[in-house]
Structure 1
């Protein structure tokens, strides 16, 4: 017959199981860190004295060129012509093919990192060229958005993959079952 575990032995066993869990899950945590926008030119909420000729976005991780999209729209939400995105590592650039008159513009992007996770977002910038003779681009609607709404940046990415979540749940069930068995054995004593 096996001898029941003493309370200190059960605590040590529980601590060992917890240490193994931490050791297994900590190396996996970088996979949960998805790509995000690092820098942008023109910058978020920038007011430029001359219209940009290109838009450059730099991300924290390398991009997949096949799944990189950058769209430039005016205040009326009309898509403006740009060149195809050119991806170099973590940086993507599009050429602005037409001159931009004074007004507010939005850069929207959707990229997929080499780890397969999509990230999308958008941000505004303004062209306020004092020498421009072109009429400013009118906003749609009776009132302009509040400054906080105009400055809003939307960026989203997926969380941990389903496989990681299932594995984590299975590990949690295993730990709880083991702890329950240890506790029962200690209580029988």
Structure 2
């Protein structure tokens, strides 16, 4: 136990936190969160944050093994995540509803916890961080990010009122296009590797 705490490094925690914060982009996801909350009634902030945190920490230790065990490579995982993000982006840009959630509980897990928070981008980032940083520092960075995620999810309604319907409408379109770009980038970055592996 002492060895674990001896590896705690504030600088490493800060770097890992900043990287994950940028990849998760919870502040940029406010329009998406509000859109989903309006659709299903409410979002279970605690559940979404805990599930996302558990997914990311689990992926830190078992990600590659889990994917290998079920016969899925990281590239296929990323491409699948890209499709889900693509659908969410279309909903925001076109103002249509493709994915239907009948229960707030289901929306808290998909698409909030996964892939919005613990998506292909953040999960693969967690794996890449492990190559250069101590596990304990990455875990602390994940927990700190999940606290911020919880606060944003909890106060999504207030943030919506603060921004107003006009700004929210514009933000939905803007972040929809950003999400669409992320989906395309994820798809393009990983589809080539899939073709190389299979042909």
Higher relative CO (CA 8 A, sep ≥ 6), structure 1 or 2?
Answer: 2
| Greater strand share, structure number | 1
Q: Same fold (TM over 0.5)?
A: no
Q: TM-score range by the shorter chain?
A: under 0.3
- TM-score (normalised: structure 2): 0.22
